[in-house]
Amino acid sequence: MRTEYAKLLTMTKAFAYLRVSGKGQVEGDGFARQLEAIKKFAASNDHKIAKVYREEGVSGTTDWENRPAFSEMMAAMLANGTRTVLLERLDRCARDLMVQESIIADFRRKGLKIVSVNEPDLCSDDPSRVLMRQMLGAFFQYEKTLLVAKLRGARQRIRAKAGHCEGRKPYGTFAGEAAVIERMKALRHMGLAVDKVAAELNSEGLRPRAGKVWYATSVYRVLKAAGAL
């Protein structure tokens, strides 16, 4: 018992950061796969995961300041002493090379550490590792560009054939969703942060359109789209 307690005291506290790009991926296995890889690394390397941050439907080409979960995580890291973030791969951090390198450089300036658990030494200053990291970043960016081009081509073909290509309808379109938005607005008016709003909606049994529970990022997106932020 004493040995386990002593081990806990020496473990490095870390946050886990998960991200999927498309809203349709939120209900897939992306989050579960990423978290499993992070937990395995943490267990083998004396890291204790203090909190998990999920970025839902946010592109890897987006700067961290415009990612709700990442911004919340950064604020927590600068405030509570947790200095390390674990992610599955560097493309979960960014698929754009410049965004990736900007985030890594910003972490260093702030005295923070980012660890890609599938390539744990990739963020070091060793010239060969920097080269490898940047080559991978360029590959991720190229891969993302190809995917976007394929999706655009598919939409154009559907539009040419059917005359239209509807996207995902915004939250609030379907029956009952407008009432949930009004409840969100009321909770925000009471001074609750978006994570507390999500917790309250879950406790009241109000479910999102997809999935079982609300998260801070999904509440943030709905409120922003509704012009309430």
Q: Is the pTM of this model over 0.85?
A: no
Q: Of 33-37, 117-121, 192-196, 218-222, where does mean pLDDT reach its minimum?
A: 117-121
- Count Cβ neighbours within 10 Å for each residue of 49-84 and write b for 16 or more, e otherwise: bbebbbbbbbbbbbebeebbbbbbbbeebeeeebbb
Q: What is the pLDDT of residue 2?
A: 45
CA angle centred on 181, ends 177 and 185, rounded to 5°: 170
Average pLDDT of the residues in 116-126: 70
Spatial separation of the C-alpha atoms in residues 189 and 126, rounded to whole Å: 50
Examine the pLDDT at 37 and tell me if it is beyond 70. yes
Average pLDDT of the residues in 77-98: 83
Least confident of 4-8, 48-52, 182-186: 4-8
Model confidence pLDDT, tens digit, residues 154-209? 666 666 666 655 556 778 888 888 899 999 999 998 988 888 898 999 999 998 88
Name the residue with higher pLDDT: 221 or 180: 180
CA 69 → CA 7, 27, 41, 114, 147, distances in Å? 30, 17, 22, 15, 24
Rounded mean pLDDT, 76-98: 84
pLDDT at 1: 46
Q: Which two tokens stand for residue 176?
A: 């009952």
Res. 5 pLDDT band, cuts 50 70 90: very low
pLDDT of residue 75: 85
